[in-house]
């Protein structure tokens, strides 16, 4: 069942100037489009209804239906033979805005009574074998299952989002595009470190060589969001068949970006139909022959198989959320992939398009509940069932400039249901033990330098960033908050390098063990752009660890800066005690990489802490060793010299600091898995922590 709603915002401004005064005339209209499926008791579409047969309300307030249209799609796929008609628009409602959201009549005839399907090939998540399966499924659908009522668009995503074929019913043209795709050459890191610029209108989301577009789920979700926004010009129902093997979860995924993608799809009348191209997966415990063999006893206790299964479910979790929240369906664990495309095809049946100009013109980003019913006379006659999207998030509008309104803007944006994602940000949370039930939690927020505009001030250029954030526990109680304003000033000789660098803001909280959710929002005050990052994190109770080593989170970095150059801190009093900060060493602060992207001319700094190592009475000191190993494709490509730790950290009882510095000059560009190995020789215990890394060319 499809449940869909599209919200379109149009605004018009007219300025009339006179010699002494400037009268300003403004009018705006918030046109909301709702697609409604009306079915009888047997599930068959009902036709012949009129605008007067529907009653529509928003947040309990009755609304006037100004746009009414019917799209008739034959269940058997035959093209409709009824004479073409155009949408009925109530000109008395708001004539100034009527022409903007609806296309010209001649353009609309192309989509009259047509089913709009978009095939989206995400090459960045498909292995070569999976790419072959996706192409075969698309070809089979186009050859055997495509009907005269179908218009198909083909979109691909490799180094950028690209529309390879606009909507067409030409089967041969579509097949020609599919067959031209080269298997195995389109991947996220096919040309590491290189920029693939594109200025065409069909690729407003373009991956550049910044780390924000290389190494997390945001890149895929942002591409889906951009596609949804591009499709918003078409009020008809659209189904995006998303070919993917998974949308990987890193543990600190941006939930704000996920919600922004879903909200854009809802407003654009788009439903996602993810197809897991891996098909039926039945790997044996420990992994298939292509995986590195497991070690330890986990293979015999069931722990390895449990973790293996959980990782598989996690890889499908985001796909499930994209489908469920946009009214689509996921297709997975089935080798007949063409059924996933048919699923989207069959879900789009004949439907009505209702449009109204919302009486609530506030652009507050809040959720608006929409109710559609049949008029009493029609309902008693037909006893029909209506299926539609039950609401939408209003648009956001932040245009205040005085200090009070700017502060309120940040507070409101932090509470919005529809997150602000105009500015790309990445976030990392780490934790270090201070006491039995107290943990120091540094948070790093990273902003790409290419997104930072600057204002000339003498011989330097500057801008100001505002930061606001909250940490809530599992019960929803706010356990920490931050509000900062940071001025960035660069000397003239350094300004040109900003586009290839990033800004890192760091803050910190003191928390107890438990599960938390953090939401951070940043605003750049020259352009007014804002970005939101929201994620869950967990602080373990290390006291409960009896048999293994008590290891902190691991910080991976390529940059150390003097304390005075640190961009921000949550507590101004704490900023004067930087020497006690876990990431401060020899008056320099270690800045987390956040995205784990490095250049092969840099050094990799790794820091972690081991708590309560065994200290033999005879020696009076611990015997701890740490080393770094790097893997690529399951093969060991680098191993560092071990670092021995025989002293505990001063002022931090029971804490052994682990610090490694590894040059990356010998690692060619590519994707790696780095592993920190820690051994407590006296206690005869070991532990390791892994993280993916990306190395780019210098």
Residue 170 sits in a domain whose CATH number is: 3.40.50.410
Same domain for 95 and 229, yes or no, is no
Tell whether 636 is covered by a domain: yes
pLDDT band at 518, cuts 50/70/90? very high
Q: What is the pLDDT averaged over residues 580-594? A: 86
Q: What is the rounded distance in angstroms from the CA atom of residue 690 to the CA atom of residue 674?
A: 6
DSSP string, 623-662: -EEEEEEEEETTEEEEEPPPEEE-SPPTTSTTEEEEEEEE
Same domain for 282 and 192, yes or no, is yes
Tell whether 646 is covered by a domain: yes
Q: State the residue for tokens 């309902």.
A: 379
Domain count, the chain: 4
Segment 30-71, tens digit of pLDDT: 788 888 989 888 888 888 899 999 999 999 999 999 989 888
Tell whether 138 is covered by a domain: yes
Tell whether 109 is covered by a domain: no
Q: Which of 15, 12, 50, 48 is CA-nearest to residue 31?
A: 12
Tell whether 51 is covered by a domain: yes
Lowest mean pLDDT among 31-35, 98-102, 430-434, 556-560: 98-102
Mean pLDDT, all residues of the chain? 78
Q: State the residue for tokens 């389109």.
A: 186
pLDDT band at 566, cuts 50/70/90? low
Tell whether 618 is covered by a domain: yes
Regarding pTM above 0.85, the answer is: no
Q: What is the rounded distance in angstroms from the CA atom of residue 296 to the CA atom of residue 203?
A: 48
Tell whether 689 is covered by a domain: yes
Same domain for 359 and 482, yes or no, is no
Q: What is the pLDDT averaged over residues 300-311? A: 64
Give how far Cα 11 sits from Cα of 28, 199, 596, Å.
4, 27, 42
Same domain for 414 and 269, yes or no, is no
Q: What is the pLDDT of residue 87?
A: 40
Same domain for 145 and 273, yes or no, is yes
Segment 180-232, tens digit of pLDDT: 998 875 544 333 333 333 333 444 444 444 566 555 577 788 889 899 989 98
Contact 601/665 with Cβ under 8 angstroms? Answer: yes
Does pLDDT of 99 surpass 50? no
The boundaries of the domain holding residue 334 are 115-342
Tell whether 193 is covered by a domain: yes
Same domain for 303 and 385, yes or no, is no
Same domain for 434 and 385, yes or no, is no
Same domain for 364 and 452, yes or no, is no
DSSP string, 548-592: S-EE---EEEEEEEEGGG----S-HHHHTTGGGSTTEETTEEEEE
Q: What is the pLDDT of residue 639?
A: 93
Q: What is the pLDDT of residue 312?
A: 65
Same domain for 626 and 671, yes or no, is yes
Contact 156/124 with Cβ under 8 angstroms? Answer: no
Which is higher by pLDDT, 9 or 49? 49
Q: What is the pLDDT averaged over residues 395-422? A: 67
Q: What is the CATH number of the domain that holds 670?
A: 2.60.40.10
Contact 560/603 with Cβ under 8 angstroms? Answer: no
Does pLDDT of 357 surpass 70? yes
Handedness of CA 248, 240, 395, 61 (dihedral sign): negative
Highest mean pLDDT among 268-272, 389-393, 456-460: 268-272
Same domain for 183 and 323, yes or no, is yes
Same domain for 121 and 254, yes or no, is yes
Among 334, 367, 393, the domain-final residue is 393
Same domain for 100 and 148, yes or no, is no
Contact 174/218 with Cβ under 8 angstroms? Answer: no
Segment 527-540, tens digit of pLDDT: 778 889 999 999 99
Lowest mean pLDDT among 135-149, 228-242, 351-365, 601-615: 351-365
CB atoms within 10 A of CB 16: 9
Lowest mean pLDDT among 289-298, 587-596, 631-640: 289-298
Does pLDDT of 366 surpass 80? no
Q: Supply the DSSP symbol for 145.
A: I
């Amino acid at each position: 069942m499809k449940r869909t709603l599209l919200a379109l915002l149009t605004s018009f401004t007219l300025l009339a100037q006179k010699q002494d005064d400037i009268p300003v005339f403004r009018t705006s209209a918030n046109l909301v489009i709702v697609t409604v499926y009306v079915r009888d008791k047997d599930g068959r579409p009902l036709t012949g209804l009129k605008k007067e047969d529907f009653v529509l309300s928003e947040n309990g307030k009755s609304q006037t239906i100004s746009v009414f249209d019917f799209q008739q799609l034959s269940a058997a796929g035959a093209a409709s033979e009824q004479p073409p008609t155009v949408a009925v628009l109530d000109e008395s409602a708001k004539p100034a805005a009527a022409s903007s959201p609806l296309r010209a009549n001649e353009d609309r005839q192309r989509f009259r009574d047509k089913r709009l399907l978009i095939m989206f090939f995400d090459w960045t998540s498909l292995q070569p074998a999976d790419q072959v399966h996706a192409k075969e499924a698309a070809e089979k659908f186009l050859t055997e299952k495509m009907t005269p009522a179908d218009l198909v668009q083909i979109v691909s995503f490799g180094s950028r989002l690209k529309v390879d074929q606009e909507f067409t019913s030409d089967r041969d043209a579509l097949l020609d595009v599919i067959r031209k795709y080269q298997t195995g050459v389109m991947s996220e890191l096919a040309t590491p470190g290189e920029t693939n610029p594109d200025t065409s209108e069909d690729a407003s989301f373009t991956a550049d060589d910044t780390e924000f577009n290389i190494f997390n789920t945001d890149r895929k979700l942002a591409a889906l969001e951009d596609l949804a926004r591009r499709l918003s010009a078409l009020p008809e129902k659209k189904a995006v068949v998303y070919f993917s093997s998974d949308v990987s979860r890193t543990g600190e995924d941006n939930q704000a970006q996920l919600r922004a993608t879903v909200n854009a799809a809802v407003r654009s009348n788009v439903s996602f139909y993810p197809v897991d191209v891996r098909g039926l997966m039945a790997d044996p415990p420990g992994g298939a022959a292509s995986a590195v063999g497991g070690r330890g006893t986990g293979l015999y206790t069931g722990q390895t198989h449990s973790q293996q299964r959980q990782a598989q479910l996690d890889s499908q979790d985001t796909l499930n959320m994209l489908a469920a929240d946009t009214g689509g369906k996921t297709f997975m664990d089935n080798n007949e992939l063409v059924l996933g495309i048919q699923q989207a095809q069959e879900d789009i049946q004949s439907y009505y398009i209702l449009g109204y100009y919302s009486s609530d013109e506030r652009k507050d980003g809040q959720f608006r509940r929409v109710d559609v019913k049949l008029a009493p006379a029609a309902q008693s006659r037909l006893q029909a069932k209506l299926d539609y999207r039950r609401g939408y998030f209003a648009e956001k509008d932040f245009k205040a400039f005085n200090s009070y309104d700017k502060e309120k803007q940040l507070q409101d944006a932090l509470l919005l249901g529809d997150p602000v994602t105009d500015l790309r940000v990445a976030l990392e949370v780490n934790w270090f033990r201070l006491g039995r039930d107290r943990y120091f939690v540094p948070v790093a927020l990273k902003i790409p330098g290419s997104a930072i505009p600057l204002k000339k001030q003498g011989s330097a250029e500057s801008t100001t960033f505002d930061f606001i954030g909250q940490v809530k526990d599992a019960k929803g109680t706010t356990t920490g908050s931050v509000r900062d304003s940071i001025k960035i000033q660069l000397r003239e000789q350094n300004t040109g390098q900003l586009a290839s660098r990033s800004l890192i803001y760091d803050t910190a909280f003191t928390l107890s063990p438990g599960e938390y959710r953090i939401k951070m929002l940043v605003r750049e005050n020259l352009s007014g752009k804002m970005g939101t990052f929201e994620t869950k994190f967990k602080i373990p109770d290390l006291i409960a660890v009896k048999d293994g080593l008590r290891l902190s989170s691991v910080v991976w970095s390529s940059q150390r800066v003097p304390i005075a150059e640190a961009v921000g801190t949550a507590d101004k009093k704490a900023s004067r005690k930087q020497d006690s900060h876990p990431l401060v060493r020899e008056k320099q602060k270690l800045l987390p990489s956040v995205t784990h992207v490095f250049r092969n001319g840099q050094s990799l700094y790794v820091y972690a802490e081991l708590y309560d190592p065994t200290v033999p009475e005879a020696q009076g000191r611990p015997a701890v060793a740490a080393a770094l190993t790097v893997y690529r494709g399951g093969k060991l490509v680098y191993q560092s010299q071990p670092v021995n730790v025989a002293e505990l950290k001063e002022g931090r009882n029971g804490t052994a600091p682990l610090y490694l510095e590894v040059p990356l000059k010998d690692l060619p560009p590519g994707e790696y898995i780095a592993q920190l190995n820690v051994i407590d020789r006296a206690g005869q215990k070991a532990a390791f922590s892994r993280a993916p890394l990306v190395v780019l060319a210098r």
